[in-house]
Amino acid sequence: MTQFTRRNIYLTIGFLFIIFGRFIPAPAGMEQSGMAVAGIFAGVLLLWLTVAIDWPSLLCIGALGLIHEIGFKGIIASSFGNETIIFLICTFMCTYALSETPFLNRCATYFITSPIAKRGPWSFIISFFAAVIVIGCFASPTVLFVVFLPIAEKIIEILKLKKGDKVANMIMMGLAFCVSVSAGMTPIAHVFSIMAMGFYNTATGLNIGYGQYMAFAVPVGIISTALLILVFKFILKPEVSEIRDIDVSVLKQELKPMEKKEKLILAIFCLVVALWILPSLLKNVFPVVMKINKMGTAMPPILGVILYSVITFDKKPLLNFSEGMKKGVQWSSIIMCSGTLAIGSAMTNSQIGLTKYMVSSLTPVLKDVSPILLIFVFTAWACIQTNFSSNMVTVTVVTTVAIPLVQAAGGLVSCPAIVSIIGMMSAYAFATPPAMPHIAMAIGSGWTDTGSMMKYGFIFMLVTTMITVFIGYPIAAALM
């Protein structure tokens, strides 16, 4: 069967779900329009997983707009009119402005040429992974991997390693894994956690602060990275003695001193990050900062883009707006995010009745379920699915199902904590090429292979799931 034939089969099945789902009789307690939403969800999910992520998202929005209880005005307001969309566009542009400077390379070089990195082979490896984690908290995964790939290959070149060498394999796998971990540690320039927070806000009217999210996600990321190093040391067992006398000072020599333009761009980016994080952290000390929170999460990056566009250097703005829109904004992700926000809004719409039906049906079942089992199920589900499908599809599906189920559990489990965990775990993609673009890029580099990525990716999935359940959740539940 050709790829074209398979595509047509998936299209046919997807459209059948979307068109005829509304005609399937609804079970007692659910409105008929609930079946329409369920059919659209099933059809679009199939198309997302098998065909594409951009135009099916527009199809999702259009199909939901045809449902009487929702309408086009309502669905546009909850998709492109949603604050998340403009937030993402502006955040991508701010990150693009920073990535166009040598700053990310400068930070990476600083870590691997520091005195700590020179203490021994494992100190060097730890410094390299730490650089990825720290910078990745503020950069998108693909940009981060592209920045670090030539640095990793330069290290491999200096060590005169060959393809198939365990050290080279460890460096490339560790780079890919740390990129994924860093993407889950903060909502800054990372779509998945933002989407999870958006779904929670739509369903409950409540917000999860950036500071609250990072207070549990950052420790989980750090502990996970520490255990990743132990996995490499005691399971992969690379011969690291050749790293002992490695000299990477050539990377430092290639960097020019920081110029005024780079300093300006960095200062504005730091301002944006501060406006995101500080209000939720300082609200009890300085209540006045909550006024910033009330402006919404999109305000800081909008301000950042304006500043980048207004402030000039050598008679040119710090950010070329049209260039940033073309090269910096990941439009396929934006379009898909619109679709996922729309389906999430529709499925939690009180007039549709899906949430009410799920809560009433599952409350008797869940009342005797162990809270730790419920936490483990949603954590593992998000981690497993994100390693085989789109991260945004994962966060949409798992969050949309989790919110009513956790609410039906009667307070046994913290709903905002579970939602935050799902957002974080949706970024924890390690094992397979479809998981994230940089996983495929790592395998394509030739320094690692599919078998190694799957073996150590699955081991790391188990490690991160356990850390999240037994360390991450208690912290998140206490803070949210």
Cβ pair 200, 403 in contact under 8 A: yes
E strands, 231-336, are: 312-313, 316-317
Q: Which two tokens stand for residue 63?
A: 């199909």
CB atoms within 10 A of CB 120: 14
CB atoms within 10 A of CB 257: 7
Task: Determine the 3-state secondary structure of 442 from DSSP.
Answer: helix
DSSP annotation string for 449-465: -HHHHHHHHHHHHHHHH
Dihedral sign computed on CA atoms, order 292, 296, 298, 303: negative
Strands (E) located in 276-384: 312-313, 316-317
Q: Which of 197, 217, 392 is nearest to 296 (CA)?
A: 197
The pLDDT, as a whole number, for residue 281 is: 65
Q: Rounded CA gap, 305 and 302, in Å?
A: 5
What's the CA gap between 326 and 303, in Å, rounded? Answer: 20
DSSP 160: T
Phi, psi of 67 (to 5 degrees): -80, 125
Q: With beta carbons less than 8 A apart as the criterion, state whether 63 and 42 touch.
A: no
- Give the model's pLDDT for residue 88: 80
* Selection from 13, 71, 153, 79 nearest residue 344 by Cα: 79
Inter-residue contact 99 to 234 (CB < 8 Å): no
What is the per-residue pLDDT for 154?
A: 86
Paired tokens of 97: 């402005």
Beta carbons of 430 and 177 less than 8 angstroms apart: yes
Instruction: Give the pLDDT of residue 456.
Output: 95
Instruction: Look at residue 317 and give its three-state secondary structure.
Output: strand
Type of residue found at 100 = E
Task: Assess contact for 349 and 17: CB atoms under 8 A.
Answer: no
Give CA 365 to chain center in angstroms.
32
Nearest Cα neighbor of 428 from 152, 198, 151, 141 is 141
246 sits in which H/E element: none
Q: Closest by alpha carbon to 428, among 144, 129, 176?
A: 176
Q: Which amino acid is at 245?
A: D
Per-residue pLDDT of the chain (480 residues; tens, 9 = 90+): 788 888 889 888 988 999 998 888 888 888 888 898 989 989 988 988 888 887 888 788 888 888 888 887 778 777 777 777 877 888 888 888 988 888 888 888 888 888 888 888 899 999 999 999 999 988 888 888 988 888 888 888 888 888 889 999 999 999 999 999 999 999 887 888 988 988 888 888 888 888 889 999 999 999 999 999 999 999 999 988 877 777 777 777 667 788 899 999 999 998 988 887 777 666 666 666 666 666 767 788 888 888 998 888 887 889 888 888 888 887 877 887 778 777 777 776 777 777 677 767 766 766 677 889 889 989 999 999 899 877 888 888 888 888 888 887 777 889 999 999 999 999 999 988 877 888 988 998 889 999 999 999 999 999 999 999 999 999 999 988
**Which of 251, 222, 171 has the alpha carbon at shortest distance from 456?**
171
Dihedral of CA 138/424/218/172: which sign?
A: negative
pLDDT at 159: 84
- Phi and psi for 316 in degrees, rounded to 5? -130, 140
Say what the pTM is. 0.80
